[in-house]
Amino acid sequence: MEEYYEPICVEVNGVEHQRLVRTSMTLLDFIREELKLKGTKRGCDNGECGACTVLMDGECVYSCHVLAVQANGAKITTIEGIAGSDELSPIQEALMDEGAIQCGFCTPGLVMSIKRLLNEYPDPTDSQISYALSGNICRCSGYVSVANAVKKAAAVLRGE
Ligand code: FES
Ligand code: FES
């Protein structure tokens, strides 16, 4: 099958990247294979599990369900852009403190969804937390500890 290529320019974690990409390449493959940012995980590769969640212009997207060419001109934040180089973000700290990590495969995607939630709602309600986490499947840690971590991170980020 013939391959088609297009030039794209995408800002990822504050760094601009210009590349010629296959028009069939997903944003997930662009992030993992082209930019070698392996923190964003591939779970189902089918828009169901949320492991590949990143922020695109501030909104959560499943990067396995976005083409790299659709991200042309966009600002992307991945898990690598969440904290400083030698520190964790309050969201990551809270997930660890609350025991909300077991295998951790879902965690990068969860962190991105929590980040998006707290950007809009610094003091989220239980239903806002449930809704925000509804696109991220975690098979092993359960959601109670994750929800507790969201509340804890929110309090830290509010300066409490
Ligand atoms: S890997 Fe993208 S939603 Fe599962
Ligand atoms: S900690 Fe294993 S899937 Fe969430």
At 19-54, the pLDDT tens digits run 999 999 999 999 999 999 999 999 999 999 999 999
Q: How much is the pLDDT for 77?
A: 98
Mean pLDDT of 52-74: 98
Q: What is the pLDDT of residue 84?
A: 80
Question: Whole-model pTM?
Answer: 0.96
Rounded Cα distance, 62 and 65, in Å = 5
3-state secondary structure of 31: helix
> Would you state the pLDDT for residue 141?
87
- Ligand 1: which of 29, 48, 105, 133 to mutate, most ligand atoms within 8 Å of CB? 48
pLDDT at 85: 78
pLDDT at position 1? 76
Going by pLDDT thresholds of 50, 70 and 90, the confidence category of residue 144 is very high
Which tens digit of pLDDT belongs to each residue from 101-141?
Answer: 999 999 999 999 999 999 999 999 999 999 999 999 999 98
Question: Helix 107-120 vs helix 90-97: angle between axes, to the nearest 10 degrees?
Answer: 120
Q: Which residues line ligand 1 (CB under 6 A)?
A: 42-45, 47-52, 62, 64
Mean pLDDT of all residues in 57-65: 98
- By alpha-carbon position, which residue is closest to atom 4 of ligand 2? 138
Ligand 2 atom closest to the CA of 107, numbered from 1: 4
Residues 80-106: pLDDT tens digits? 999 887 899 999 999 999 999 999 999
Over range 1-11, report the average pLDDT.
94
Residues at CB less than 6 angstroms from ligand 2: 101-106, 138-141
66: nearest Cα among 106, 29, 26, 121: 26
How does 86-124 read in b/e, with b if 16+ C-beta sit within 10 Å? eeebbbbbbbeebebbeeebbbbbbbbbbbbbbeeeeeb
